[in-house]
Amino acid sequence: MSETARDTILDVQHLTMRFGGLVAVNDLSFKAARGKITAIIGPNGAGKTTVFNCITGFYQPTEGMLELTHATGKHFLLERMRDFKIAAHARVTRTFQNIRLFAGMTALENLLVAQHNHLMKASGFTVLGLVGWPGYRHAKREAIDRARFWLDRIGLLARADDPAGVLAYGQQRRLEIARAMCAEPVLLCLDEPAAGLNPREAHELNKFLLAIRNETGTSILLIEHHMRVVMEISDQVVVLDYGQKIAEGSPAEIRGDPKVIAAYLGVEKEEVA
């Protein structure tokens, strides 16, 4: 395998998603680098969330290929995988723009559900677990330790046994990221993690995301409107408008790109060309 393939975690090729006559994403290609934070930005309705939905198995893309490569060199074609397998085998997890926690379950339980597969194998598909197999008990303790580690990281250790639904908005956002991390992903997809956060919280989030990248080596794909977050932490930015890629590059390059400015502010056509 070539070096470039090894550096790429997700290779999106010619991704197209149509809903009837509406083309939400049109022939989109980009590469997300391993161990880096890649931001996808664009005006409302540009198709950012649709791209996420294709990657995580929510939608079946109309056309195109989504190739994920693990550090071991193992390949996965995400467009052909079922939703739970994308999380379980390809190890891609995500968060949502409108938070989707298991509201009636405790914060700790939310993080334990995400470690399902780990426990599943250790419990010998339930059978050994029911008879109290020592290996399972060990795995269970590990799972709880990992959950507590992440709760501690997001400052919610004291609220481990509270239902997720009663936590404050910012706490729920962080818990959702922690849940996605508990599944030990190689690629973490965050859909507007800073939405609705105040500037201080957004700053904390930046630090948290950088820590995830630096400490665990997890690659991050990020949709964000909050320009400060994007510019501060992303290594690479992909800009979408009307389902098409209009620019790609480092945050500094993107900031000065006239096409991007046009897409956001809207200018007369001749000025762009």
Partner 1 sequence: MEYFLQQLINGLTLGSIYALVAIGYTMVYGIIGMINFAHGDIFMVGGFLALIAFLGLLAIGVTAVPLALFLVLIVAMLLTALYGWTVERIAYRPLRGSFRLAPLISAIGMSIFLQNYVQIAQGARVKSLPPLVTGAHVLMDSGKFVVQLTNIQIVIIVTTTVLMLLFSWMVSSTRLGRDMRACEQDLKMAALVGVNTDRTISLTFVIGAALAAVAGIMYLLYYGAIDFFVGFVAGVKAFTAAVLGGIGSLPGAMLGGLMIGLIETFWSAYFSSEYKDVAAFSILILVLIFMPTGILGRPEVEKV
Q: Could you list the residues that contact partner 1 (CB under 8 A)?
A: 56-58, 82-84, 86-88, 93-94, 98, 100, 102-105, 109, 112-114, 116-117, 119-120, 123, 126, 129-130, 140, 179-180, 183
Q: Quick one: tokens of 171?
A: 């706490």
Q: Which of 252, 218, 217, 251 is nearest to 237 (CA)?
A: 251
Q: Which of 53/206 has CB closer to partner 1?
A: 53
**Residue closer to partner 1, measured from CB, 5 or 130:** 130
CB atoms within 10 A of CB 13: 14
Burial of residue 195 (CB within 10 Å: 0-12, 13-18, 19+) is middle
Minimum CB distance to partner 1, residue 54 (Å)? 13
Nearer to partner 1, 148 or 259 (CB): 148
User: 148-156 contacts: CB < 8 A, separation 24 or more?
Assistant: 148/108, 150/111, 150/178, 150/181, 150/182, 151/107, 151/108, 151/111, 151/178, 153/178, 153/208, 153/211, 154/178, 154/208, 156/107
Shortest gap between Cβ of 31 and partner 1 (angstroms)? 23
Cβ 10 vs Cβ 68: under 8 Å: yes
Smallest separation (angstroms) from partner 1 to the CB of 135: 13
Contact yes or no for 28/51 (Cβ under 8 A): yes
The minimum distance between CB 254 and partner 1, in angstroms, equals 29
Distance of closest approach, residue 87 Cβ to partner 1, in angstroms: 4
Using the minimum distance from each CB to partner 1, give the nearer residue, 160 or 231. 160
Reading the block at residue 19, the tokens are 């809903």
- Which is closer to partner 1, CB of 86 or CB of 230? 86
